[in-house]
Amino acid sequence: MKIIIAVIFIILFHSANAQVEKDIPIFHRLVIINSENELLVAKIENTDFWVTPGIYQTKELSIKKGLDSIASTYGIEIENLRLNGVFILKRELNGKKSTSMRNVYTAKIKEGTPKGPNGIEKIKWLTIDKSLELITFPHINAMIEKIMTNPNEVWGGTLLQYKENENWKTKILEEFYLL
């Protein structure tokens, strides 16, 4: 009986001290499209990084309010909001590994003239091809290229982001699939 109690005690002690995986952050990327089918791209202040707008999910913010807040910080209103991708992004940077969920939405500009919010140095409307040439991060390009060539579908997949010789790289770990 003492052995059984000792085993139960060890199991409970070990379970109580086991590491709990941290929450996986969720990032919402908003691909804003104008009437010429161009994408809004933004240069992050004090960097050479070009991206499409996005926001990390918080406990206080609903998805819709978060996406609307992105648009309003750029001085515009959006319509025809649509989820086009749910991706997992794994990162291996500076010896650290992390995982996040990346939701990609598309929306049409409804009204307003875009302006760069705080933290954004420059914005441009570019064709899809020119956007993909300018955007700094290959994982963003891979997701956008997939959803823009198949805009009526919702895509999933897993990507790895890493640096090689100071260049950003992406490897598709799980081929894109329809959701």
Closest CA to 177 of 82, 86, 83, 81: 86
Contact 107, 30 (CB under 8 A): yes
For the chain, domain boundaries? 23-178
Q: List pLDDT tens digits, range 60-105.
A: 889 999 999 999 999 999 999 999 999 999 998 888 999 999 999 9
- pTM score, whole prediction: 0.85
- Distance between CA atoms of 179 and 176, rounded to whole angstroms? 9
CATH of domain 23-178: 3.90.79.10
Q: List pLDDT tens digits, range 9-51.
A: 333 334 444 444 467 899 999 999 999 999 999 999 999 999 9
